[in-house]
Structure 1
Amino acid sequence: MTRRIVLALLALTVVLVAAAAVPLGLSITQREHLAFRDKAQAATRVIAASAEEYLSDRAPADEMNADLAAAAKAGDCAAVYDMNGRLVASTPCQAAQAPELAAETLTGREPEPPETDGRLLAAEPVGTFRQPDGAVVLARSAAPLNARIAVTWAWTGLVAVAGIAASALVSVRLARWVNRPLTTLDTAAHKLGEGRLGERAVVDSGPPEVRRLAATFNTMAARTENLIHGHQAVIADVSHQLRTPLAALRLRLDLLATAAPESAPELLASAQEEVARLSRLVDGLLAVARAEQTVPRPVPVRVDEVVADRITAWEPVAQERGIHLTSNSRAAGPVALGKGDLEQVLDNLLANALDAVPDGGTVTIDSTSVAGAVRVRVMDDGPGMTPEARAVAFHRFGNPKARGSGLGLAIVHRLITANGGTIALEETPGGGLTVVLDLPWWHDRRTP
């Protein structure tokens, strides 16, 4: 990947430099040529002006000779022709003696200055173009022009090479900056795929997008690790929890096979109790798995209506056990919960409370509005739980002294937290256990 990035950036740089440097060099070269010709033409006009006084006005040739001497001193060659094309005067060098160019100028045309033997020839009529009295031809060496053009192209090429070299350096550093964290991320993903669940990617180098990708990978890896460890813990817990009722069931069946006929009904009843216990345990595990795999889609739920409905459903069970089941709901606004989640939560809490409270006890459900939430409390005056038991009550099989499967509070905790709420266990004043649920308001979920 580093090589591809470097080559791509270098190719782009070469194209951009060529697109900028070549037109610039050509433009400077053209401008130098024009400036050189304009200066040669200006020098020719100076000599033509003094020659006009000599040829047209019959003035002395001193000024014309002086201009020719100045041209020779500057390195130019010049020659003056009369209207018949005869050579009148010239510099010591003979490079400017071009009768053909002078004859063309005498016809009234302005010829394009040619370049011969490394010299640029410029021609200018003496007097007017239509009726010239003579012609001046000047030859100027193009060596200085060629030297300046060569220097211009050399600097242009040097700047282009420097730009390409700088681009190569920046491209290498950029490619490494991008590629190094991606390489470490690829290595981490490979190790994670091999089973090294603790492997994580580096998130403190590279572009922000790569850092976010590495952070997302680390989050995924952490969740994968927790999920696998959680499944391993579930398997261990299930194996441990199933071992006891299975052993008891096997013992009772063995006794039933060898027992006397009169004790067979009692042993059969005990075996049926163990089967029922196993059934409850399996149902609880299925409920936990279902709750952990569910992603709730919040809907508006009326707490007072659900509480009243569950009180009606559990009232016969409470009356059968001699327990007073009451409610006091003062929160009418809807909360945001998955469909049926609050019913399942209250069913689990009421089942636990009715199992824990002795005959004549009381179970109360109340709800009040608090800041941004509706607080629902399920209170009983049973034996309660120790602080140590409350600390692990939401874990699977967290309470070894539970009469049921020990999974009810784990299901409740999962359902509440998955919906964005909170759950806590407190001691009821006077004794007992209070389960406190804070459920988010529905309008809070809908606010952008």
Structure 2
Amino acid sequence: MTRRIALSVLALITALLVLAVVPLGLLMTHHERTSFRQTAEATATAIASAAEEHLSDHHPTAAMLRLLDKSRQQNSCAAVYDTSGRTIAKASCGMPPSADITPQIKAVLTHPETRTVQSGDRLTVAVPIGETGHPVGVTVLSRSTGPLDGRLAAMWGGLAVIGGAGLVAAVLLSVGLARWVGRPLREVDAAAQRLGEGALDERAPVGRGPQEVRRLAATFNTMAGRTQALVHGHRAVVADVSHQLRTPLAALRLRLDLLSADAEADVAAELVGAQEEIARLSRLVDGLLAVARAENAVPRPVAVRLDQLIAERVAAWEPVAAEREVALVASCRAGLSAYAGDGDVEQVLDNLVANALDAVPAGGRVRIEGTTAQDTVRIRVADNGPGMTAEARESAFRRFGATSPGGAGLGLAIVHRLITANGGAVRLEDTPGGGLTAVLELPPVPREHGRNHGRGAAAGDRTT
């Protein structure tokens, strides 16, 4: 926007300068040429008047010669001719060739009137001597247009300097105006981006730029303050719920444990069932708290090395998989990275691997793959368990949408929230040959982060 504002203002001022300077230059040029021609004609007419006194009234030639000499001092060449074309008097300077003057002399004698002709760099003026109907001669004055051209060049040069100074001033003015308007908008944009990345205390400066931009910054700050208050309020509610629910559940479970120790067999069986329900309720509370935290969290994306992360999660879950006699394997392209919140991908993989291990029977297999597809980083968690029906897959990412025995139905909701909050997508597919495959798509690392960002150094393909 800054560039567009600067170019628009610069174009407007340039147009104004052109419309002002060029017509002024043309007008001054016309005035100078007209003045130059009129001066030459006036000088030639004065010489013709003095020549008429000599030719018609037989006065001395002193006045005529004086004017001829004066014209020579003014960088002009003048001569007086009779009706036959004979030279009566002339200034001691170079005149145009007689072949160029003779036709002009004849034309003036035939039609007695002043004739002005410009040829090349000289202006020639021919004035009849005597009465209009019966001229007794012709005065011819030739003046170089070099001084005129020099003055015109200097004039146009001055106008060009003025125009150039105007353009420089226009550039400075347009750039200053564009920065005055654009810089506060860029600061508001940067503040909005940082707020979206999770910096809830971010605010935009309100004392810069036009009044409209200041109001925009003030409105943004009001919105940011309310957003911060809402998020902090939700987080406080989550913390209060965590404290208020977990503590009574733990106390109730402890009391049931104490009662079951001294209870009779039939009562003890009932207490065991109550303990199982309390344990299920505890898992449900933990799941709800995890969902609430995921929904209230605003991820700050960083470059995540998926090859190393997948290897770490496989190593962490291998003891559980070995205990359940399930093969847990993984393969990932070396150096594969994605752009996601710190810790989000780990939590997603933990939920998916836990669900897969719960679904796969002994002797089954769970596989994690990391690949790229066009401009997307893709992770697949596939198992060969019983899978899901199409109806179950459609509701799997809703809270309590797909519950497994002993589960709360919140794991996939957490997965969906974390992936979509990072600008990705998640879906469930059938595994070829039977089973369920969770497909995660994450944005790649932006180019400006460079190759050295991410989680550690490059590693080779790993298969566990």
Q: Are the counterparts in 1 of residues 114 and 128 from structure 2 also a CA contact under 8 Å?
A: no
Aligned match of 1:81: 81
Tell me the alpha carbon deviations over residues 350-402 of structure 1, each in whole angstroms, 9 at most, x when there is no partner.
xxxxxxxxxxxxxxxxxxxxxxxxxxxxxxxxxxxxxxxxxxxxxxxxxxxxx
Query: How far apart in 1 are the matches of 2:181 and 2:102?
Result: 72
Alignment CA distance shift 1:228-1:109 (3 Å): farther
Structure 2: distance between partners of 1:237 and 1:129: 118
Aligned counterpart in structure 2 of residue 165 of structure 1, from 158, 165, 168: 168
Match of 1:113, SS? strand
Kindly indicate whether the alpha-carbon contact (under 8 Å) linking 1:119 and 1:142 is maintained by their aligned counterparts in 2. yes
1:229 to 227, 232, 237: 232
1:80–1:134: 8 Å Cα contact kept in structure 2? yes
Gaps of 5+ in 2: 265-464
Query: Is 1:208 aligned to 2:220, yes or no?
Result: no
Deviations 1:390-440 (A, max 9, x none): xxxxxxxxxxxxxxxxxxxxxxxxxxxxxxxxxxxxxxxxxxxxxxxxxxx
Following superposition, the deviation at residue 212 of structure 1 comes to: 1.3
Q: Give secondary structure in 1 for the equivalent of 2:59.
A: coil
Deviation at 1:190, TM superposition (A): 0.6
Residue 104 of structure 2 corresponds to residue 108 of structure 1:
no
Partner residue in 2 for 1:70: 70
Partner of 1:54: helix, strand, or coil?
A: helix
Q: How far apart in 2 are the matches of 1:122 and 1:73?
A: 17
Could you tell me how far apart the structure 1 residues matched to 2:61 and 2:85 are? Answer: 18
Deviation at 1:122, TM superposition (A): 1.1
Mapped partners of 2:4, 2:18: distance in 1: 21
1:58 positional shift: 2.3
* 3-state DSSP of counterpart to 1:106: helix
Distance in 1, matches of 2:110 and 2:125, equals 16
Asked if the contact 2:112/2:128 (under 8 Å) is kept, the reply is: no
The 3 A distance-change label for structure 1 pair 54 and 118 is same
Distance 1:42 1:4 in 2: 56
SS of 2:221 mapped into structure 1 = helix
State the structure with more CA Rg: 1
Counterpart in 1 of 2:127? 124
The alignment status of 1:181 with 2:184, answered yes or no, reads yes
Cα deviation, 1:20-55, whole Å, max 9, x if unaligned, reads: 222211111111000000100110111011111112
- 2:114–2:127 CA contact under 8 A, matched in 1: no
CA positional deviation for 1:256: 13
Mapped to 1, the partners of 2:252 and 2:120 lie a distance apart of 119
Q: Structure 1 residue 145 and structure 2 residue 184: aligned? A: no
Distance in structure 2 (CA, Å) of the matches to 1:161 and 1:99:
48
Please say which of residues 60-69 and 160-169 is displaced more in the overlay. 60-69
Once residues 174 and 25 of structure 2 are traced to their aligned partners in structure 1, the CA distance between those partners, rounded to angstroms, is 26
CA shift, 1:65, in A, is 1.8
Equivalent residue runs for 1:314-333 within 5 Å:
none
Q: Secondary structure at the match of 1:153?
A: helix
How much has 1:201 moved relative to structure 2? Answer: 0.8
- CA displacement at 1:236 relative to structure 2: 4.1
1:196 aligns with 2:199: yes
| Cα drift, residue 185 of structure 1 | 1.3
Are the counterparts in 2 of residues 104 and 111 from structure 1 also a CA contact under 8 Å?
no
C-alpha distance 112-15 of structure 1, shift in aligned 2 (>3 A): farther
Residue type of the partner of 1:87?
Answer: T
CA distance in 2, matches of 1:94, 1:244: 121
Matches of 1:223 and 1:49 in 2, distance apart? Answer: 97
Alignment partner of 1:217 is 2:205: no
Q: TM-score, normalised by structure 2?
A: 0.51
Alignment CA distance shift 1:235-1:112 (3 Å): farther
- Residue in 1 aligned with 2:50? 50
Q: Tell me the distance in 2 between the aligned counterparts of 1:112 and 1:243.
A: 115
For residue 177 of structure 1, report the CA deviation from its aligned partner. Answer: 2.1
Give the secondary-structure state (helix, strand or coil) at the position aligned to 2:116. Answer: coil
What residue ranges of structure 1 are gaps of 5+ in the alignment? Answer: 261-448
CA contact (8 A) 2:115 2:127 kept: no
| Structure 1 position 108, deviation (Å) | 2.4
Hey, what's the Cα distance between the residues in 2 that align with 1:4 and 1:109? 65
Measure the CA separation in 1 of the matches of 2:25 and 2:39.
Answer: 21
**Map of 1:35 onto structure 2:** 35
Question: Contact conserved, 1:108 with 1:131, CA < 8 A, in 2?
Answer: no
d(CA) in 1 for partners of 2:263, 2:134: 151
Cα offset, 1:166, TM superposition: 1.4
Equivalent position of 2:276 in the other structure = none
- Partner residue in 2 for 1:343: none
RMSD over equivalenced CA pairs, Å: 3.0
- Which position in structure 1 is the counterpart of 2:4? 4
Once residues 9 and 59 of structure 1 are traced to their aligned partners in structure 2, the CA distance between those partners, rounded to angstroms, is 70
Name the structure 2 match of 1:409.
none
CA shift at 1:112, angstroms?
Answer: 4.5
Name the SS of the counterpart of 1:80 in structure 2: strand
Closer/same/farther in 2, CA of residues 112 and 241 from structure 1, 3 Å limit: farther
Q: Deviations over 1:178-237 (max 9, x none)?
A: 222222211111111011111111112222221111111101100111122223334444
Letter in 2 for 1:194: E
Q: Work out the number of aligned pairs and report it.
A: 260
1:134 CA drift (Å): 1.7
The answer on whether the counterparts of 1:107 and 1:130 sit within 8 Å (CA) in structure 2 is no
Paired residue type of 1:191: R
1:265-289 CA distances to partner (integer Å, 9 max, x unpaired)? xxxxxxxxxxxxxxxxxxxxxxxxx
